[in-house]
Structure 1
Amino acid sequence: MPTLSEVARHAGVTPATVSNVLRNRGRVGEATRQRVLEAVDALGYRPHLAARALAEGRAPTLALMVSSIANPFYPEFALAVERAARTSGHFVIICNTNEDPVTGRAYLDQIAGTLSEGVLVTNANLELADLHVTESRGTPVVLCMWERPDDPPGLPCVAVDFRLAGELAGKHLLELGHRRIGAIVGSKASGVHATRYEGFVDALRAAGVRRNRVRHAADTIHGGYTAARALLEADPQLTAIFATNDLPALGAMHAAADLGLAVPGDLSVVGITDIQLARESRPALTTVAVPTVEVAGLAVSLLRELIESSYGQNARGKTKVPMRVSSAPQLVVRASSGTPRSR
């Protein structure tokens, strides 16, 4: 593999000039710039990112921490992050914690500040205290998809009003005429999906519906399947199921099919997020879409601002922690919801 020095000799310039051209820094004449770029192409030179990070004390990469790359939401979000990061010349390292906080802390210790200039964190099963430690060491951290805009986490974040998302789902089912509605929460009672369920309950209470059946389950298709079967076996008269995420909602539709129930004729199903599978399922899933691409762009932009301002090095002296709030979630009505019929 050719080196920076070999490119410099081929172009008849200094290594510093080659570096300035590649990083678009300093004053370099157009003729010299073209000569360097031609030498790069002729030799097939590619920058050594690790060496650059060591030499400059900063890496041209951002770390994105996710809880499970097997969950289709995270590849979709990662793609949006990667596209946003490329506009500033950054690469993205995906750190899959596999829902293990020990693995997450290991990533923070080994990558933050060395292989990456900053860290984006989705639901990665990490304690806020761990992220504060990373920030205190000089590496900016941004929480993506923070679910409580009215309750800031004390770290820079991009927030989405997921309580509103749950409320919109509940109102949609109520407006269709449903009153016997089950709920599947894709986390523990105090987990990350609690806010979504609270919004759903708010909608029901406002309509005078005081009781609904609920099951907590894994945020997976299988988790939704198991929970939906339990709900329908406990109350066969349910006419609708709300799930706090699209995967459990898809699992609920599978359960309905196995029980001989038509969706939406016998059972309406509504989720939250609007992943690609929601659009491609049959019937297509009614869901409350969150602005995934917008959140990715806001998160990358905020992280870049923090990197340029050395926020991580001075975070303790800050009086206000930045938070960006995305546009509101939007109900997307598809084929999985309809008016109830008695069974």
Structure 2
Amino acid sequence: MTTLTEVAKLAGVTAATVSNVLRNRGKVGVATRQRVLEAVDTLGYRPHLTARALAEGSAPTLALMVSSIANPFYPEFALAAERAARQSGRFLIVCNTNEDPAIGRAYLEQIAGTLSEGVLVMNANLDFDDLRKTQARGTAVVLCMWERPDAPPGMPCIAVDFFAAGALAARHLLDLGHKRIGAIIGSQADGVHAARYEGFCATLREAGIAHVPAEARFTRDSIQGGYEAATELLTALPEVTAIFATNDLPALGAMHAAADLGRKVPEDLSVIGITDIQLARESRPALSTVAVPTEAAATMAVRLLRALIDGSAVGALMQVAPAPELVVRASTGSARNRRS
């Protein structure tokens, strides 16, 4: 691999001059700059980012930690975050913890502050103590898609009102005349989807609709998890005319279960999710859902992280992303049109 010294020798300058040209620092004459750039091009020189990070005490990268890259929401968020990072002159490293806290801690110890200037964290199964230790070492940390704007975590974060998202989904089903509505929650009762389910339940209560525990199933946040939960729910309670799922993946699984049970969507069963991932638009029937501001939240998170790194962050540590929006597609219909 070509070295900085080899570039300097070909250009007839010092290694420090080459470094100044590549970093756009110091005063370098036009002719000298041109010779350096021509030498770089001739030799195909590329800076060693790790060496630069160690030498300068900072890195030209940001890290994004997610719990499972297999969940299609995270690549969509990462795409938006990468775009925002690139626009700010940084690269984005995506770290998959595979829902294992030990892997997450290893990433924090090995990457935070060395290969990356700051860390974006999204549902990475990490204790706040681990994140605060990272902050104490001088590395900026921002929580992404925090689900409870009413309960700030005490750390920099971008929050999304998922309680409102659950309420929007419930209101849509109520407006269609549904009264027996099952719920599939893609986490444990006190897990990351709790606020979504709370918003759903609160809206039903306000409408005078009783929602009992027997009408809810807690499962994995996946298509298979939704399939298994919906199969169990619809078998036990065939009178259910609609299903609310706290995420699009279990909602898609619910539609698959309905098909295997001989129930057409939306004629026999309406299904709605939350998030609006690409699969929701491409499923058949297309999935009604509550869209969350993925791109806006990713952009806000990168900007907040950069501000923390630069020392220019002011005001509240928690910023709230734009409100979720109902997206009506073909998977929801009137309860009055249900086939007998």
> How far is the alpha carbon of 1:58 from its aligned partner?
0.9
Partner of 2:318: 323
Q: What is the Cα deviation at residue 342 of structure 1?
A: 5.1
On the 8 A contact 2:163/2:195 being kept in 1, the answer is: yes
Instruction: Give the equivalent residue in structure 1 for 2:206.
Output: 206
What residue number does 1:314 align with?
none
**What RMSD in Å do the two structures reach over aligned CA positions?**
1.5
Distance 1:310 1:333, change over 3 A: closer
1: distance between equivalents of 2:332 and 2:249? 16
Aligned twin of 1:115:
115
Return the offset for 1:161: 0.6
User: How far 1:116 moved relative to its partner?
Assistant: 1.1
Q: CA–CA distance in 1 between the matches of 2:285 and 2:88? A: 40
* CA distances 1:209-266 after superposition (whole Å, capped 9, x unpaired): 1224110000000000000011101110111000000000000000000001101110
Superposition deviation, residue 20 in structure 1: 2.4
- Aligned residue type for 1:85: A
Distance in 2 separating the partners of 1:228 and 1:26: 64
Structure 2 matches for 1:21-170, cutoff 5 A? 21-170=21-170
| TM-score, normalised relative to structure 2 | 0.95
Letter in 2 for 1:90: R
Q: Which amino acid aligns with 1:331?
A: L
Q: Give the distance between the partners of 1:324 and 1:111, measured in 2 at CA.
A: 26
Return the letter of the residue paired with 2:267: G
Say if 1:147 and 1:162, in contact at 8 Å, map to a contact too: yes
Residue 176 of structure 1 corresponds to 176
**Do 2:267 and 2:339's aligned partners in 1 also have CA atoms closer than 8 Å?**
no
Determine helix, strand or coil for the equivalent of 2:83: helix
1:50-78 residue CA offsets vs partner (Å, 9 max, x unmatched): 11011101111111100001111111111
Q: Deviation at 1:104?
A: 0.9
Please state if 1:9 is matched with 2:4.
no
Amino acid at match of 2:275: T
What is the CA–CA distance in structure 2 between the aligned matches of 1:291 and 1:21, rounded to whole Å?
A: 40
Distance 2:127 2:256 in 1: 34
1:261-286 Cα deviation digits (max 9, x unpaired): 10111001000001111111111110
In the other structure, the counterpart of 1:277 is: 279
Q: Quote the Cα distance in structure 2 between the aligned partners of 1:282 and 1:109.
A: 44
Q: Distance in 2 between matches of 1:204 and 1:130?
A: 38
Task: Please name the residue that 2:186 is paired with.
Answer: 186
Output the CA distance in 1 between the equivalents of 2:87 and 2:8.
27
Opposite residue 133 of structure 1, the aligned amino acid is K
- The aligned length equals 336
Query: What do the CA deviations read for 1:14-49 (whole angstroms, capped 9, x no partner)?
Result: 222222222233333444333322222111111101
Please give the alpha-carbon distance, in whole angstroms, between the structure 2 residues aligned to 1:25 and 1:171. Answer: 57
3-state SS of paired residue (1:39): helix
Runs (4+) of structure 1 exceeding 4 A deviation are none
Amino acid at match of 2:333: G
One-letter code aligned to 1:225: Y
CA shift in 2, pair 1:150/1:24, >3 Å:
farther
CA distance in 1, matches of 2:26, 2:325: 46
| Alpha-carbon distance between aligned partners in 2 of 1:285 and 1:31, rounded to the nearest angstrom | 60
Code of the aligned partner of 1:178: H
Alpha-carbon distance between aligned partners in 1 of 2:146 and 2:56, rounded to the nearest angstrom:
32
User: Separation in 2 of the partners of 1:80 and 1:183?
Assistant: 30
Deviation of 1:321 (Å): 5.4
Deviations 1:120-141 (A, max 9, x none): 0000111111111111111110
SS at match of 1:215: strand
C-alpha separation in 2, matches of 1:31 and 1:206 = 74
Give the aligned partner of residue 254 of structure 1.
256
> Which residue number in structure 2 is paired with residue 295 of structure 1?
297
What secondary structure is seen at the aligned counterpart in 2 of 1:178? Answer: coil
Q: Distance in 2 between matches of 1:53 and 1:133?
A: 21
Any conservation in 2 of the 1:224–1:248 contact (CA below 8 Å)?
yes
Which whole-Å CA distance do the structure 2 matches of 1:144 and 1:298 have between them? Answer: 9
With normalisation by structure 1, the TM-score equals: 0.94
Do structure 1's residue 332 and structure 2's residue 334 form an aligned pair?
A: no
What is the identity, as a one-letter code, of the residue corresponding to 2:177? Answer: G
Identical aligned pairs, as a percentage? 73
User: 1:13 deviation in Å?
Assistant: 2.7
* Equivalent position amino acid for 2:11 in 1: A
Letter paired with 2:227:
Y
Aligned equivalent of 2:242: 240
Letter in 2 for 1:233: T
Kept in 2: contact 1:154–1:321 (CA 8 A): no
